[in-house]
Amino acid sequence: MSEGLLNKHTGMPDKLLPTLCSFPYTLTMGNAIKRSSSGLWVAVLSAVLLAISSRATALEGQGALSPAKIKEIQANNQSYKDCTEGATAGVKAGKSLAQDLPKAFERCRDKYPGAALFLECKKKVLAAAKGSELDVEAVGECKKLLTAASFDPAEPVPLFVSGNQAFFAGLGMNREMSLSEMELPNFTCEKLQTAVTNVAKNAQHILFGNHPNVFLPGAAQAKFLAAITRAKPAKGEKYSDVDGFGRLFGQVKSPQSIVYFPSAPCDFKGASGVIFSGLSLYYLADSTGRTGTPYFGIAYYREGQKSVTTPELVTEVSRRLGRDFKAYSKDAETVFILSTPFQEVDKERDPRNICQTPRAHQFVGVVHTSKKDHGHPDYLILANIRNLCDYGDRQAGKLAR
């Protein structure tokens, strides 16, 4: 692994990036999006969180995603090292048994998924050594994995991607978790707990909607659609809450019909430093299974922070996601970072039906600029689209039984 992986950001001339971001998106989406000539050559890089405005149907009656909603509690940020040292200290103090230490370390690995990367890497180094002296440089590279996947309040890009795995603010964004496992270091999951208990009342239905037809094939889909059709909107509402699936807007047979899945956040409660005003990791809520599937992480930047500019953030997120990822400027307020251009957009030119076949996306990044200071970001989003689509398949399958 190269040293560049852990660089705080890479630079690019401010004049170049808007053009590089705008042109590919305009070229690819020309038939779907009407762009103004001024929008094509924007000198300001920014992004819009899908369906966040008060005009967006999906957010009617919902609270907007805002750093003001995040309760910031100053605390010492925990780490994998703290966890293992605490477990060892417990044995030394006689509070726990030595034979319980392996299980304690396993719980630490669950809490700090970046540690799993480090341990797997070190295991390979040990195997390669075949009993001889360890390669110190190779072990050092393994340690970099752990550092890169951990949260550092002084690092302005709180995400790390390794293969098909993503980490946000030190948390894994990869596997479904039961609520009983939601003891996430430095985060509180009270909002997710309440959303799972009562999805219709407490969940937020936002970010990347899909038409129901994109889930399940053949006879299974017919049963699923029949189950959805039975859901009736509440009096005076424009949507139906489909129990165990999501919030459906419009009629299923209409091409404009769209469903948003229920989600709720775990919010960062530790010391966030001078760069961030808040961080949240949103989970797709499964009320019947009482689980959460990591969906997207959002990091809010403090007003006046000077650690990263909008162009630098777009460049660094693109690099971390991989060589195939490019920045596509939606307008003077939007930058999407993705490996394949979106095939379909809604009337507000936001991505739509992102789960349709072929499912080209795994991760999508979004950068939003500050309205008061266009040169600096307001927030960053990393979404795990594969988790979103797999969640939809699972929920649709339950309705089709």
pLDDT above 80 (res 87): yes
With beta carbons less than 8 A apart as the criterion, state whether 384 and 173 touch.
Answer: yes
How buried is residue 34: exposed, middle or buried, by Cβ count under 10 Å (0-12/13-18/19+)? exposed
More confident: 197 or 107 = 197
Domain boundary, last residue among 149, 168, 187: 168
Whether the predicted pLDDT of 147 surpasses 70: yes
Structural domain ending residue among the three candidates 168, 185, 217: 168
Position with higher pLDDT, 148 vs 384: 384
What total of structural domains would you count in the chain? 2
What is the per-residue pLDDT across 357-389, written as a single tens digit (0 to 9) for each? 888 889 999 998 888 888 899 999 999 999 999
99 and 229 share one domain: no
253 shares a domain with 277 = yes
Rounded CA-CA distance 367/346 in Å is 19
Residues 133 and 271 placed together within one structural domain of the fold: no
pLDDT classification of 9: cutoffs 50, 70, 90: very low
Same domain, 97 and 156: yes
Are 359 and 318 part of one and the same domain? yes
pLDDT at 53 over 70: no
**Same domain for 370 and 278?**
yes
- Is residue 350's pLDDT more than 90? no
Query: Do 149 and 254 have their domain in common?
Result: no
Task: Looking at the structure, tell me whether residues 139 and 154 fall in a common domain.
Answer: yes
Mean pLDDT for all residues in the chain: 78
For the segment 10-44, what is each residue's pLDDT rounded down to a tens digit? 333 333 333 333 333 333 333 232 222 233 223 32
Co-location of 297 and 163 in the same domain: no
- The identity of residue 333, as a single letter, is E
Residues 238 and 295 in one domain: yes
Domain end call among 168, 192, 211: 168
Residue 224: give the domain boundaries: 3-75+177-399
My answer on whether 186 and 280 are in the same domain is yes
pTM: 0.77
| 333 and 351 in a common domain | yes
Q: Which amino acid is at 310?
A: T
pLDDT band of residue 77 (cuts 50, 70, 90) is low
Kindly tell me if the per-residue pLDDT of 179 is higher than 70. yes
Mean pLDDT of 150-155: 86
